[in-house]
Amino acid sequence: MIGMMQFMKEKLHYLAGAVAALLLIAFYFAILTAVNSFSHALSELQRMWYFIVPLSIGFGTQVGLYFYIRKFLAEKAATASVAGAGGLSGASMVACCAHHLTDFLPILGLSAAAIFLDKYQLTFILIGLFSNFIGVVYMLSVMKKHKLFNSENEFLLRIFSINFDRALKLSFTLGLALVVLSALFALNNFI
């Protein structure tokens, strides 16, 4: 029993990441089922799987990395450096699901808001995807800074040879450009 508890403690970050990814998909299903039906939720998942799956995986990866980092940094009393990444995780979940507000805003008399959110659905999804990516890159930079990886693993050595400061700037710039382009495209189709 003690061996199993130690194993779970050491591998908690894997479990936390998997549960977070599944909870995001469950949240997606709950929203769509509540405002429409379960069959609608399934058809939307089939239609949008190429966005929903990466959003869920990205969110789960951030949560898993957060738990991994927290385990080591708590011992070094440096958990404050991870706080910003937790905010990115929450923001990506909100951005992922914000476009589903269009399903029930007309009921509340907010048709204009529903039309706006529907037209900018891709923009909200891209914000979620890029915030996930930036959050993962940030957490990897924290791991590199504190040397929280196995330096004997060739694959990890290649990953952690990346200049994460430059990767963060490039990711942010590329993400911002794509989000702006998608918003302009939606605006062009809106007018």
- DSSP calls for 31-73: HHHHHT-HHHHHHHHHHHHHHHHHHHHHHHHHHHHHHHHHHHH
Model pTM score: 0.74
Residue 133 pLDDT class (50, 70, 90 cuts): confident
Res 77 pLDDT > 50: no
pLDDT of residue 149: 83
Give the three-state DSSP class for 168: helix
Calculate mean pLDDT across residues 34-46. 84
Residue 51 pLDDT class (50, 70, 90 cuts): confident
Task: Using alpha carbons, list the distances in angstroms from residue 150 to 143, 146, 147, 168.
Answer: 11, 12, 8, 22
Average pLDDT, the chain: 75
* Entry field: residues in the chain: 191
pLDDT of residue 118: 62
φ, ψ (nearest 5 deg) of residue 117: -65, -35
Residue 79 pLDDT class (50, 70, 90 cuts): very low
Res 132 pLDDT > 50: yes
